Copies of this chain bind each other. A is one copy, B any other.
Amino acid sequence: MPAKDLRSAPLGVFDSGVGGLTVVRALRELLPGESIIYLGDTARVPYGSKSPDTIRRYAVEDTQFLTRLGVKAVVAACNTATAHALQLLQSTFRVPVIGVLEPGVEATLADPACQRVGIIGTEGTIRSSAYQYSLAMRRPDLRIHAAATPLLVPFIEEGWTEHPALKAVLRDYLKPLLDKGVDTLVLACTHYPLLIPVLKKMLGGKIRLVDSASTCAAHVRSLLDSHDLRRAAKSKPSLEIYLTDLSEKAEVMVRRFLGDDAGKVKMAVL
């Protein structure tokens, strides 16, 4: 049995920016008793367009920040960081590190009728082929079509999730996938759950949307249970949000994701 203080330690979650807060929201729903420390690397966002070496360096620095604060596990709530750095993080740090990729893959394969999968994500995520590889290893018969969709994060960060221009961009990005007749669309970026309403309207319910935030939270729960790491204390769990760059816009995004529960957003120096 782990030391009591380890069980009461917070979960650490990091992302390149505020997109990973979709995972925090899912964690709070599924694990309402857990304390959470979130780190958003807003001073260097986005990661998705940067090179693998730089992404790995940033992911290690993010994880270091969280482990120094004594977290009991780290969630890489960023698909780009997961795709390029998960193995490195798992071999470098003592605490368990969970990514968003495996949960997304499992959620995709949860429907055995799925035949043709489309994947959308940042350039970094799509280029890594991490999703394509992981899906193909488990379901060699699956038809997999991936598309880098780099403009979606800027639109989401602007809050323009219903703008006609966003719809025009989406139509262009999705056309090659729809032409291939995909039955499932994997949202391989933690920002994209915010596009589910517009995607549902555009795709009309014919295509299953897979979002990794909720399956990632389920993975974290299994991990905590298997390691007997669930927080037992009855006191109110804490939620701390750190950003490497504090701007009004980032704080507005934090409130949009988490409401006033988020408390005061703090500055992190990596």
A binding-site residues for B, Cβ under 8 Å: 42-44, 49-51, 54, 123, 150-151, 154-155, 157-158, 160, 163-166, 168-169, 172, 245-247, 249
Nearest-CB distance from A267 to chain B (Å)?
9
- Complex Cα–Cα for A164 and B169 (A): 8
Contact, CB under 8 Å: B172 / A51: no
- Complex Cα–Cα for A129 and B253 (A): 23
- Knowing that A44-B44, A49-B157 touch, tell me 6 more A-B residue pairs with CB under 8 angstroms: A49-B249, A50-B247, A51-B247, A151-B154, A163-B172, A165-B166
- Complex Cα–Cα for A123 and B158 (A): 11
From B164, B168, B169, B247, A49 is in contact (CB under 8 Å) with B247
Q: Quickly give the copy total for this chain.
A: 2
Set of chain B residues within 8 Å of A50, measured between Cβ atoms: 42-43, 245, 247
Nearest-CB distance from A173 to chain B (Å)?
10
Set of chain B residues within 8 Å of A168, measured between Cβ atoms: 163-165, 168
Set of chain B residues within 8 Å of A49, measured between Cβ atoms: 157, 247, 249
| 9 A-B pairs with least C-beta separation | A165-B168, A154-B154, A165-B165, A51-B247, A165-B169, A54-B245, A50-B245, A44-B44, A43-B54
Set of chain B residues within 8 Å of A246, measured between Cβ atoms: 51
Set of chain B residues within 8 Å of A42, measured between Cβ atoms: 50
- Complex Cα–Cα for A44 and B51 (A): 12
Q: What are 16 sample pairs from A and B whose C-beta atoms fall under 8 A apart? A: A43-B44, A43-B50, A49-B157, A51-B245, A51-B246, A51-B247, A54-B245, A150-B158, A151-B151, A151-B158, A151-B160, A151-B165, A154-B154, A163-B169, A165-B166, A165-B172
- Complex Cα–Cα for A158 and B247 (A): 25
- Complex Cα–Cα for A154 and B155 (A): 9
Set of chain B residues within 8 Å of A44, measured between Cβ atoms: 43-44
